[in-house]
């Protein structure tokens, strides 16, 4: 199939632009953006909250697959912890781009693949790597049970009985 060079170049530039787009829009999301400049202050020195952090790369296909579930969980956790967000034991969802300003923290926590999910609990210096399913339901259950071990998802009530 013949395609003019200008069109091929245009398609290549479009693909490159899409590959360089940031994965998350932190301005319109409850997710907290972490990087080398704020990680210690936000996570390690925060005695009042528990943190679940995604270490990612914008270009990573697995990270792009996780994005909808990670964003959904961060939005669903906000009302669950609304009363506790200023107090102890609230879970905060965050993300750190290992390729843009987060390379030091990713090296420190030996992030070797993307996405890597870690829970920073009471001992923020010793994070727990999350190895469970990467669905919104499983991630939400994991985060909430870190605060309330007996928590169960409320049943869905059908209005069509």
Query: Which residues are CB-contacts of 125 (< 8 A; sequence separation ≥ 6)?
Result: 44
**Diameter of the chain by CA atoms?**
63
Query: Which residues are CB-contacts of 137 (< 8 A; sequence separation ≥ 6)?
Result: 153
Catalytic site residue from 62, 87, 107, 132: 62
**In this structure, how many other beta carbons lie within 10 angstroms of the beta carbon of residue 30?**
16
Reduce the DSSP state of residue 31 to 3 states and report it. Answer: coil
Structure tokens given for 140 = 């939400």
60 among known catalytic residues: yes
62 among known catalytic residues: yes
Catalytic site residue from 63, 98, 102, 106: 63
Just list the catalytic residues.
Answer: 60-63
């Amino acid at each position: 199939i013949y395609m003019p060079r200008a069109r091929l170049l245009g398609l290549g530039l479009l693909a490159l632009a899409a590959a360089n787009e940031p994965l998350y829009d932190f301005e319109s999301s409850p997710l907290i953006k972490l990087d080398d400049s704020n990680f210690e202050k936000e996570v390690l020195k925060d005695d009042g909250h528990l943190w679940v952090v995604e270490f990612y790369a914008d270009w990573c296909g697995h990270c792009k697959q996780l994005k909808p579930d990670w964003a959904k969980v961060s939005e669903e956790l906000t009302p669950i912890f609304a009363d506790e967000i200023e107090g102890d034991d609230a879970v905060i969802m965050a993300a750190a781009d290992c390729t843009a300003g987060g390379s030091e923290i990713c090296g420190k926590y030996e992030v070797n693949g993307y996405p890597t999910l870690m829970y920073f609990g009471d001992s923020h210096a010793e994070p727990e790597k999350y190895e469970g399913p990467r669905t919104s339901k499983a991630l939400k259950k994991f985060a909430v049970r870190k605060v309330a071990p007996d928590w169960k998802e409320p049943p869905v009530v059908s209005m069509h009985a």
